A = this chain, B = another copy of it.
Amino acid sequence: MPAATHPPLLDSFIAHLAESDQRVTATRLQVAKAIARRGGHFTAEEICAALPSVGRATVYRNIKLLAEMGFLCRVLLEDGSLHYQVSHRGHHHHLVCTACGLAQDLLGCDIQDLLRTRAGDSGFAVSGHWLEVYGLCRDCQSKAP
């Protein structure tokens, strides 16, 4: 049995469900466990494949729930495909390695001020932004020529 890569996820999920009057079902725990078991990012379809006994709609519903609760963040790959990842809560961005796929959190987003200034020049009032950064992680740099 593979060790949980994100051990706190299960407990936090259960706690949040209880707080918000949502039911702790066996299926929900199955989905959360399948996610906690993973390192790195994953697609909804991958979870569906890993849990053939769980309905596809249910997998999508629960991933959405986990994301709304802040336990999962969206990772947009360069090819446009949407992945999810257990992650820091709150606003942040990702450094996505185009070689191995690793997506590490880039905390302390300090571009909001820069954006407000640059956009303000055109009279635009910034309320939010979406940013993904692509490149090579440390490991992949040393492996590549």
Q: A residues touching B (Cβ–Cβ < 8 Å)?
A: 76, 78, 80, 82, 95, 97-98, 104, 106, 108, 110-111, 114-115, 118-119, 122-138, 141
From residue A106, how far is it (CB to closest CB) to chain B in Å? 6
From residue A132, how far is it (CB to closest CB) to chain B in Å? 5
Across the interface, A138 reaches (CB within 8 A) one of B114, B124, B132, namely: B124
Across the interface, A136 reaches (CB within 8 A) one of B110, B124, B141, namely: B124
A137 to B125, CA, bound (A): 6
Interchain CB contact under 8 A, A124 and B95: yes
Interchain CB contact under 8 A, B129 and A131: yes
Given A114-B110, A138-B122, A130-B131 contact (CB < 8 Å): yes
Interchain CB contact under 8 A, A119 and B138: no
Interchain CB contact under 8 A, B119 and A128: no
A95 to B16, CA, bound (A): 35
Given A76-B130, A130-B131, A118-B125 contact (CB < 8 Å): no
A131 to B119, CA, bound (A): 13
